[in-house]
Chains A and B, each alone.
Chain A
């Protein structure tokens, strides 16, 4: 059984109330402001890295790398959605790590049904109302792990984290046509994998 993930409450981190001001301070070199941003978004970054890499340790390494890159680059941040900017950096750091390690080139992650696989434990504050949704997320994450690596990367970046085709192509150093094909084939495969859990979508 995976270790608990206390901050995974079945939601995504919303922006800070005074985010623009905090980002502006961090961009001027305020280390406290930068730390506040990274602390706030670390679960978002780690979630992306974990879904791309499929390994807790490597995901933590990639997130740590992303924070260093973000620190070097934040002075050049020119507005826009800070979360998206940080997630792009995280995606690049994760993809670099994936390429460097070449641990499972174009192969599938282990089948979570066979055990030994770490899945995030999505704590449900209201078990009755949230159990079905939390169960859906667990199955979706498990199904994502069964996709070939290139399809998983493309679907995670596009459909889970909302990047457009061009951003996915940049992050994966791939041609646009290749990216589209990977996303579309990945969706079709996920649909097959989730067919037996269709009722969870209605929850």
Chain B
């Protein structure tokens, strides 16, 4: 003698009742329905039977012999991996520094053949670079200082030249008490003052070689 229920629980709730779901198993209403329902009771019984058969599925012998222990001298995957991962960024950073250093040194006349001390194009590019650096380095809040400087400079030199732009950058930096690298341009000894470009250049060269070395070692390692 069983009761028929017009509305049955969702099948997924019944599947949960088959095992492993503490919430459903503790659901007294659900259990009461299943116990009384002609449709749901056999279904849950089937699912429980299925579940216990699944839990018995036998082990399977490997399709081929397996190496039970990794080789003793197995290279740690992390070591080769780190070198391999570092190689790319090192080479990219090295190339970037090399380029910046070469352009800077070339523009300041350290590298021969790039046009001497301050001839037109080179000086213009150097001047542009310096002004850009100043603007960037002194952030948006300091732009009034830059504008003021431009104003005072204009009174000294009614027709500013490229050279004046270069000179104007350091004075801006001095007023904002920053940018020591730029102030070196101001002391009027460009050759000696530009030597940091060489440092940048050689640093880039070093990083580039390190990146190449990492890649070679990582490839040869494993």
Contact = CB atoms under 8 A, between A and B. Distances in A.
Interface of A: 3, 5-13, 31, 34-35, 38-39, 42-44, 46-47, 50-51, 56-57, 59-60, 63-64, 67-68, 71, 120, 122, 133, 136-137, 140-141, 155, 158-160, 162, 164-165, 180-181, 183-185, 187-188, 190-191, 194, 198, 201
A160 B54 contact: yes
Interface in B42-60: 43, 46-47, 49-51, 53-60
- Chain B interface category by residue count: 20 to 34
B75 interface: no
A123 B46 CA distance: 26
Given A39-B68, A164-B20, A165-B20, A187 B60 contact: no
Interface of chain A, main secondary structure: helix
A7 B61 contact: yes
A185 B16 CA distance: 9
Contact of B69 (A11, A35, A155): A35
Nearest to A10: B58
Contacts of A11: 58-59
Contacts of B59: 7-8, 11-13, 43-44, 46-47
Contact of B15 (A57, A137, A164, A188): A188
A67 B63 contact: no
B19 to A, nearest CB: 8
B66 A42 contact: yes
Interface of B: 11-13, 15-16, 18-21, 43, 46-47, 49-51, 53-64, 66-70, 72
B215 to A, nearest CB: 24
Given A39-B68, A67-B70, A158 B20 contact: yes
Contacts of A51: 57, 60
A28 B63 CA distance: 30
B70 A68 contact: yes
Candidate in B56, B61, B66, B72 with the most chain A CB atoms within 10 angstroms: B61
A187 B18 contact: yes
